[in-house]
Every structure is written in C-alpha cells, then in structure tokens.
Amino acid sequence: MRGLAILLFSLFFATPATAQSPTRFATSPDAPIVVSGQTIILQELKNRALLNGNAKLLQGDLSMTATTMTIIFDPKQGDQAQDVFASDGVSVVDVKGQISHADEAHYNVAAETLELTGNVRVENHNPDAQLGTAQGQRLMINMRDGTSQIYSNAGSGRARIQLKP
C-alpha cells in the first residue's frame, strides 16, 4: 500500500524541538528582489512600503505570496530594502517543487534569512526529493545556502518530518 510505503518519523528534541530539514531550498540571494501587489503605498517618512492584494515576492528561484507584505527600507540608505514582512496566507515556493505554508514570514535581507512562523507546513512535490512533508511552528531558511531548520512550539515539544521511502 502506498500509505504504508511512506515512512513516518517523529523527531523529538528538547523543548523547543528542532529538526534539521533533510532538504535544501533553491535560493538566489544575489538576484534582485522583485515585489508586486495590486496597490503599493510607499510611505517615505516611515521608510516603508505596504503591498496589498496578491502580494508577491520573487528572488531568482524562490517566490513568496501573501495577502499583504510590508517592505522596510534602511533609513540611512533610503531605498535599500532591510526587511520584508508577509502576513495572511503565506506561501513560499522554490523551483525544486517545495511549497511551504505559514501564517507569517519575515525576510531579513541583510542577514539573508527567511523565517516562516505559525502553522508551518512544508510539502515537497519533487518525486526525487527525500522529504515528503514537514510540520512545525517555525521554519528558518538560510537564503545563502538554502539549508533550513524547522522548530516546534515551545510547549508542544515536537516537530514532525515525514520522509519518503
């Protein structure tokens, strides 16, 4: 049976639980970041841009969609992006077929990290990939090398990864 063919691992760690994701995300940290939305409100005095309606971020091999996004610009360097915050139905997709869902996301452009929080679920639709699904409360993606870590809630003590046989 196909269901039996899937091997399930539940990984237990000290609270909060952490699991090293057995797959890498396809990232392009040196590519320009392209962000779009139905409306973009650029507030110069607050050094930020608010994107509403089908907000989308694309950077090379990785894209992120959400209902709303906020770009924070470096106040010293004017139009240089510092952080991107996404909320409400966040999805992150890479060209290798990995789709991650979460409630919120924070892309720290300078630190090259993408953090997904709240009901995180990673699905791998690439038939050659080892990872099936992963679930947790926080997923941290290193945008430089594509490695990731998934964390559970501080109370639940469990992050779950489902591997393909």
Partner 1 sequence: MASDPTHHSRRVRRLRQVMFVSALALLALILLWSSFGSGAWFGARVTSGPAQAEMIDAVMRGKNQQGKPYVLRAQVLRQRLETTSIYDMQAPDIELGTRRAKDRIQAQAQSGVYDQQTGNIVLSGEVELRQTGDRIIRAPEVDFNMQSGDFIVQGPLQMRSPARLISADLLTSTGNNKTHEFTNGVITLFAKGQK
Q: Smaller CB distance to partner 1: residue 43 or 130? A: 43
Bridge partner residues of 86 (DSSP)? 69, 105
CB of 105 to partner 1, least distance (A): 16
Q: Smaller CB distance to partner 1: residue 3 or 38? A: 38
Q: Smaller CB distance to partner 1: residue 38 or 127? A: 38
Contacting residue, 32, 127, 155, 165, with partner 1 by CB under 8 A: 32
Contacting residue, 2, 39, 128, 165, with partner 1 by CB under 8 A: 39
CB of 155 to partner 1, least distance (A): 37
Bridge partner residues of 93 (DSSP)? 63, 99
Residue 42 binds partner 1, judged by CB under 8 A: yes
d(CA 123, CA 48): 32
92 Cβ contact list (under 8 Å, min separation 6): 25, 62, 63, 64, 98, 99, 100, 102, 105, 114, 116, 141
Q: Smaller CB distance to partner 1: residue 6 or 42? A: 42
Q: Smaller CB distance to partner 1: residue 75 or 157? A: 75
**Whose CA is closest to 139, among 155, 123, 163?**
123
d(CA 139, CA 23): 13
Dihedral pair phi/psi, residue 126, rounded to 5°: -90, 120
Contacting residue, 81, 99, 129, 163, with partner 1 by CB under 8 A: 81
Residue 111 binds partner 1, judged by CB under 8 A: no
Instruction: Check if the beta carbon of residue 125 is closer than 8 Å to that of residue 98.
Output: yes
Using CB under 8 A, list all residues that contact partner 1: 30, 32-45, 49, 51, 71, 77-81, 109
